[in-house]
Amino acid sequence: MSLVKNDSGSTLTNESLKDKSVLIFGGGSGIGLETALRATAAGANVIIVGRDRERTKQMAEEHGFSGWRVADVTDPEAIRLALSTVDVVDHLIMLSGTFTLGKILEADVSLLRQAYEERIWAIVHVLRTLGNKLASDASVTLVSGALTHRPDGNGTAIITSACAAVEVLGRGLALELAPRRVNILAPGPINTPLLYKSVGDARDAWAEVIEANHPLHRFGTPGEAASAAMFLMTNQYMNGAVLNIDGGSRL
């Protein structure tokens, strides 16, 4: 083991992303899109992966990303096909998946199972598909959520447990995949299309409750969460960590 004698601090900036390959699942909207924009601005070659072909293609072309792929993250074969032409990946970000709501005794089991398919097994499928395409010094950023720390009784038990499982999986992967780095981004209520779509017709009333009870009395923005994702990518001593970006909603 050697000590770092000259530390320019570049690991705390976006300079280390120049000419690096960044693969973002869920890069067509919300936090993923904002992260893709920031990584591109920092000089990275960004490929976004989404389920919606037209939107993913449109976002990639509109913002000048290096490429785009279409895949359902619950389908291993679709992932294999989507990544077959991808070369070395320096940074992998897993932000895909829905916000599955449903009470244990009421919801269809297939809906509840979807949370684990999208949050846990998708990670397994992508990592196994990439294999040695994932650079030896790569970073992997996973996503959990603030509900992990404060579950409620409104049909979030399964998605909360899946997010908690992501955090445990991430810490284990930080050891299994070393010296690659694995970290977990844990957003609170972020103003994204996905979040509003998940609560359906109750979104306005739900938003009022969140804003009234949140310490900052507002939702976070995709850009604020994306800045945290960029930090996890570029700080080369962040590993096995959960970074909460929730404005204090877990308190």
Number of domains in the chain: 1
5 within a domain of the structure (yes/no) = no
C-alpha to C-alpha distance for 168 and 162, rounded to whole angstroms: 10
Local mean pLDDT, 10-residue blocks, the chain (251 residues):
42 74 97 98 98 97 98 97 98 90 92 94 98 98 90 87 97 99 95 70 73 88 97 98 93 81
pLDDT of residue 90: 99
134 in any annotated domain: yes
- Contacts for 206 with CB less than 8 Å, ≥ 6 apart: 199
The pLDDT of residue 58 is 98
Q: In terms of DSSP H, where are the helices of the chain?
A: 30-41, 53-63, 76-83, 109-116, 122-130, 157-176, 193-199, 203-213, 222-234
Question: What confidence score (pLDDT) does residue 193 get?
Answer: 73
CATH number at residue 97: 3.40.50.720
Task: Measure Cα distances from 188 to 70, 147, 211, 249 in Å.
Answer: 27, 7, 12, 6
Residue 157 falls inside a structural domain: yes
For residues 169 and 153, the answer to whether their CB atoms sit within 8 Å is: no
In a domain, 87, yes or no: yes
Residue span of the structural domain in which 186 resides = 14-244
Q: What are phi and psi of 52, to 5 degrees?
A: -90, 105
pTM of the model: 0.91
Measure the N-to-C terminal CA separation of the chain; round to a whole number of Å: 39
State the residue for tokens 């939702």: 219
| pLDDT in the model for residue 99 | 81
